[in-house]
Structure 1
């Protein structure tokens, strides 16, 4: 298993798409800085009463799951398009080991990169806000936990992308399915009555990571339930991917 993980780490590092996706995550920092600047300008001209900046993570919260999901999808979809997956599965007799090894690698990379991105986003927002009382310092109870929980959401999104690409064996199909699944709770909640709309809207990865940090008014779940839902995503998608790669030819 260790050798397979090392091999998959080498593969991920050799993909140009890995670096393109990681570079694209900087768009979240840029977007957060722009929105924080706009809110700060409003505060300077009209005073208190506008939207606070807080940690700034919510302004670009939908970007990292999509990008890290792409990272996971591209980690295996290229092998299907080139046919290299056949050689890989010939070398690794048990397909489920391949899926778990790839999942471990993309989850680790996404968690680390997502955490760095979260801190970069936070400090960018606070630098733009300056001394205005519309930011959130780490002395506040939920500020640091909110930043630290972001890496977990990035890892889950990466595993989802990997599993979708394994199931569909298509880069475009996996990316379309990924975006559809990530946005489905937000779209669905608009058509449901209370309290079902709150429960459904709480199932998005950005909402779950904030609920994991016990951020007030972030969703309907307690931190323990948010953790269980995130873990459930990983288990369900991994089980589906393992079943798909085991039951059919490459």
Structure 2
């Protein structure tokens, strides 16, 4: 009778609470030695590209035409240096790799089998992982984008060409650049849940987030639509300023925000469905 009672007690052990799963995923993410170093190196590279562009503008300010200097602020040109295209590429690469490593690291070490044995609720477990990755990369993106804006505008302010966050379009540039990080990270996480290989997943992430946008152009309608449907294309539209051309097939700001939301939502659904329906 005693053995039966103990067995019954063990069999009715309550499932793990979601906050416990969040805590576990938080520890697992930061236990990856590559995670903090990747974030630090990525933040340094992103801000270096942005600060370098602003410094070049400051250094060669007097060499530009008087007409372009006069309309520099009015056309929103300081926002081009607040977050450059090269910085966006680095942001996509770094955060996409971090999102991929958050899941492929467990597959590579075999820890995923122990995790699923301890927590059979796979969808809840992956939902906790998604939340942790999204929060960490969102904070990372906000800090890097905000710091880049402050530093670049302070440099341009030496030529009376800097703008504040209240300038038209400035807040959108910072928000779009910051949210590029979680979108890329969730995409990497979804690809990692599908591919489950530590080397192949970053390659696939690089191809989807960086190579595919480079292969399409806006000179034709169907390629322009494909470009607008990619995260990098949506970011380009969100950070576009008044004095810069939008191409022959322009995209709307609301449509670009929709692309961000659609990629994030699709990545979450794909990641949760992949671990629920596939044997590990």
Q: TM-score, normalised by structure 2?
A: 0.79
The answer (yes or no) to whether the contact 1:96–1:245 under 8 Å persists in 2 is yes
| 1:36 equivalent in structure 2 | 54
Match of 1:239 among 257, 260, 269: 269
The answer (yes or no) to whether the contact 1:183–1:204 under 8 Å persists in 2 is no
| 1:127 equivalent in structure 2 | 154
| 2:103 equivalent in structure 1 | 76
| 1:229 equivalent in structure 2 | 259
- How far apart are 1:53 and its partner, in Å? 4.0
| 2:7 equivalent in structure 1 | none
| 1:157 equivalent in structure 2 | 184
Cα distance per residue 1:217-249 (max 9 Å; x no partner):
568433332232222212322333233322322
1:1-250 maps to which residues of 2 (within 5 A)?
Answer: 1-25=18-42, 26-48=44-66, 49=68, 52-54=77-79, 55-59=81-85, 60-132=87-159, 134-190=161-217, 193-209=219-235, 211=237, 216=242, 220-250=250-280
Q: TM-score, normalised by structure 1?
A: 0.88
Report which stretch shifted further, 174-183 or 34-43: 34-43
Change (3 A) 1:198 1:136: farther
The answer (yes or no) to whether the contact 1:188–1:200 under 8 Å persists in 2 is no
- How far apart are 1:149 and its partner, in Å? 2.9
RMSD over aligned CA atoms reads: 2.5
Structure with larger Rg: 2
- How far apart are 1:212 and its partner, in Å? 5.0
- How far apart are 1:70 and its partner, in Å? 1.2
The answer (yes or no) to whether the contact 1:115–1:148 under 8 Å persists in 2 is yes
Partners of 1:210 and 1:180 in 2: CA distance? 18
Report which stretch shifted further, 41-50 or 179-188: 41-50
Change (3 A) 1:224 1:155: same
Change (3 A) 1:218 1:161: farther
Report which stretch shifted further, 5-14 or 106-115: 5-14
Q: How many residues align?
A: 249
- How far apart are 1:133 and its partner, in Å? 5.0
- How far apart are 1:85 and its partner, in Å? 0.3
Partners of 1:148 and 1:133 in 2: CA distance? 24
Partners of 2:246 and 2:21 in 1: CA distance? 39
The answer (yes or no) to whether the contact 2:230–2:259 under 8 Å persists in 1 is no
- Matched residue SS, 2:113: helix
Partners of 2:201 and 2:130 in 1: CA distance? 15
